[in-house]
Homo-oligomer: A and B are copies of this chain.
Amino acid sequence: MRIVVDAMGGDHAPEVVVDGVVQATRELGIEIVLTGPQQQVQAELDKHDTDGLPIRLYHASQVIAMDEHNPSAAVKAAKDSSMVVGMELLKRREADAFFTAGHSGAALAAALLRLGRLRGIKRPALSTIFPSQTPQGTCFLLDIGANAICKPEYLVQFAMMGSVYAERVLGVSNPRVAILSNGEEEGKGNELVQETVPLLKVSGLNFIGNVEGKDIPWGVADVIVTDGFTGNVVIKLAEGVSKFLMETLKKEITANAVSKMGALLAKPAFDAVRKRLDYREYGAAPLLGVDGVVLVGHGRSDALAIKNAVRMTAQTVENGVLEAIKQGVAKFNE
Contact A217–B241 (Cβ < 8 Å): yes
In the complex, given contacts A242-B245, A252-B270, what are 17 additional A-B residue pairs having Cβ atoms less than 8 angstroms apart?
A69-B185, A133-B244, A148-B188, A182-B232, A212-B232, A212-B236, A216-B237, A233-B233, A233-B234, A238-B241, A245-B273, A253-B266, A259-B265, A261-B265, A262-B265, A263-B266, A266-B266
Subset of 15 A-B contacts with CB under 8 Å: A133-B244, A148-B188, A149-B191, A190-B229, A212-B236, A213-B233, A217-B240, A217-B241, A218-B240, A218-B244, A230-B230, A237-B241, A241-B241, A258-B268, A259-B269
A215 at the binding interface (Cβ < 8 Å): yes
Residues on A close to B: CB < 8 A? 69, 131, 133, 145, 148-149, 180-183, 185, 188-191, 193, 212-218, 227-230, 232-246, 248-249, 252-253, 255-256, 258-259, 261-270, 272-273, 276-277
Q: Which residues on the B side are within 8 Å of A249 (C-beta)?
A: 269-270, 273
> How far is A256 from B188 in the complex, measured between Cα atoms in Å?
44
- Tell me the nearest residue of chain B to A269, going by C-beta: B252
- Tell me the nearest residue of chain B to A246, going by C-beta: B245
Contact A148–B189 (Cβ < 8 Å): yes
Known: A238-B237, A266-B266. A245 touches B213 (CB 8 A): no
Main secondary structure of the interface of A (DSSP, over half): helix
Q: Which residues on the B side are within 8 Å of A180 (C-beta)?
A: 233
Contact A245–B244 (Cβ < 8 Å): no
- Tell me the nearest residue of chain B to A262, going by C-beta: B265
> How far is A222 from B290 in the complex, measured between Cα atoms in Å?
40
> How far is A79 from B240 in the complex, measured between Cα atoms in Å?
42
Contact B236–A214 (Cβ < 8 Å): yes
Contact A255–B240 (Cβ < 8 Å): no
Contact A259–B248 (Cβ < 8 Å): no
Q: Which of B145, B193, B214, B277 contacts A239 (CB 8 A)?
A: B214
Q: Which 7 residue pairs of A and B lie closest in terms of their CB atoms, listed nearest first?
A: A262-B265, A213-B237, A262-B266, A214-B240, A213-B236, A182-B232, A252-B269
Rounded to whole Å, the gap between the CB of A45 and the closest CB of chain B is 35
Q: Which residues on the B side are within 8 Å of A268 (C-beta)?
A: 252, 256, 258-259
Q: Which residues on the B side are within 8 Å of A232 (C-beta)?
A: 182-183, 212-213
Q: Which of B229, B255, B269 contacts A253 (CB 8 A)?
A: B269
Q: Which of B131, B149, B228, B240 contacts A216 (CB 8 A)?
A: B240
